[in-house]
């Protein structure tokens, strides 16, 4: 079921200050506020008999606005950027709940227009005990990228379940900030990313989502190999849209290599101490990671 929500816009203006000197002249394009912000909401599985969805908790958002360069979604204390305006989120709190989502259309010069919408969603998924045992064990468990394995990091088309375009060789990315990162899942739902000071990722989404390039120079693949980032804590949840076990991370939390996107990671395969996961980045590609538990 699709609903188009039109709510009066709140215009957020960013004041810009300009400085000049005798030697320098700066020119900026027209600063135009986004307008006509429309939000289309698709609650997966919703119909006349099931108005709150099929119990998967999955909601697809599709937004557009005139003069918008990118879009941001804010809800439950977290934010996510979706340049295309297409965004999917798994609301995993069991039961039927109303969530307020603020959509922000960002234009030139940082000016923005926002709308707040409410979405009521049913989530029925109860993760199997063996999956919970795998993730956090007796209370918490620490994971890392399995850098010693072939294919521990790779990319392919969005619909694939393996990295058919590129798969990293063992220890191939040892010069980056990927391999010393640690990911801690706790029984209480916390997700801790221990970065050791730097991370690896695509330059564009890192710059957009974490406050600039921080003095880094991108490599030939437009990646920041050692982007400064302190340890942080977010939250994790589990769902299974269409029967596909999925880990959802809040905020800008991620595994291995930052690609933006939805921050949802499908579990393609798993054993007691290892899992292959897949996420869709801002570029629309599928990015794959093998993670292994340290304890």
pTM score: 0.74
pLDDT, tens only, 67-79? 999 998 988 767 7
Query: What are 3-23's pLDDT values in tens digits?
Result: 444 333 433 333 334 444 444
CATH architecture label of 129-293? Beta Barrel (2.40)
End-to-end C-alpha distance for the chain, whole angstroms: 44
Residue 29 pLDDT exceeds 70 = no
Cα distances (angstroms) measured from residue 24 to each of 15, 28, 108, 143: 21, 13, 22, 51
pLDDT of 77 = 67
Please tell me the predicted confidence (pLDDT) of residue 82.
Answer: 83
- Residue 8: its pLDDT value, please? 36
- Mean predicted lDDT score pLDDT of the chain: 89
Whether residue 102 is predicted with pLDDT greater than 90 in this model: the reply is yes
pLDDT at 97 over 50: yes
- pLDDT digits over 36-80, tens only? 999 999 999 999 999 999 998 889 999 999 999 999 898 876 778
Q: Tell me, what's the pLDDT at 79?
A: 76
Report pLDDT for 9: 40
Domain ranges across the chain: 2-123, 129-293
What percent of the chain is predicted at pLDDT more than 70?
90
Of residues 54 and 81, more confidence is placed in 54
Q: Check pLDDT > 50 for residue 228.
A: yes
Q: What is the pLDDT of residues 137-152, one digit of tens each?
A: 999 999 999 999 999 9
Please state which architecture CATH assigns to domain 2-123: Sandwich (2.60)
Q: How confident is the model at residue 83 (pLDDT cuts 50, 70, 90)?
A: confident
Q: According to the model, what pLDDT value does residue 243 have?
A: 84
The proportion of the chain whose per-residue pLDDT surpasses 90, expressed as a percent, equals: 73
């Amino acid at each position: 079921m699709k609903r188009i929500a039109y709510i009066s816009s709140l215009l957020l203006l960013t004041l810009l200050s300009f400085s000049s000197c005798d030697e320098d002249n700066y020119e900026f394009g027209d600063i135009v506020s986004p307008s006509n912000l429309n939000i289309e909401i698709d609650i997966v599985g919703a119909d006349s008999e099931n108005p709150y969805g099929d119990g998967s908790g999955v909601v697809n958002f599709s937004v557009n606005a005139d003069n918008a360069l990118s879009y941001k979604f804010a809800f439950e204390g977290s934010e996510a950027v979706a340049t295309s305006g297409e965004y999917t989120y798994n609301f995993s709190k069991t039961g039927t709940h109303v969530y307020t989502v603020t959509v922000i259309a960002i234009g030139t010069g940082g000016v923005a227009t926002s709308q707040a919408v409410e979405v009521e969603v049913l989530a029925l998924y109860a993760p199997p005990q063996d999956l919970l045992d795998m993730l956090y064990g007796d209370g918490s468990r620490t994971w890392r990228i399995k850098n010693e394995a072939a294919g521990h990091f790779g990319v392919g088309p969005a619909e694939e379940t393996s990295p058919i375009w590129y798969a990293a060789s063992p220890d191939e990315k040892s010069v980056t900030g990927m391999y010393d990162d640690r990911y801690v899942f706790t029984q209480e739902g916390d997700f801790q990313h221990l970065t050791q000071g730097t991370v690896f990722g695509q330059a564009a989404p890192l710059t957009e989502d974490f406050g600039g390039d921080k003095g880094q120079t991108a490599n030939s693949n437009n990646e920041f190999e050692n982007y400064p980032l302190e340890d942080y804590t977010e939250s994790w949840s589990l769902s299974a849209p269409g029967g596909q076990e999925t880990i959802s991370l809040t905020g800008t939390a991620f595994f291995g290599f930052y690609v933006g996107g939805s921050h949802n990671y499908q579990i393609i395969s798993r054993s007691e101490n290892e899992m292959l996961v897949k996420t869709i980045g801002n570029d629309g590609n599928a990015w794959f990671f093998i993670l292994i538990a340290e304890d």
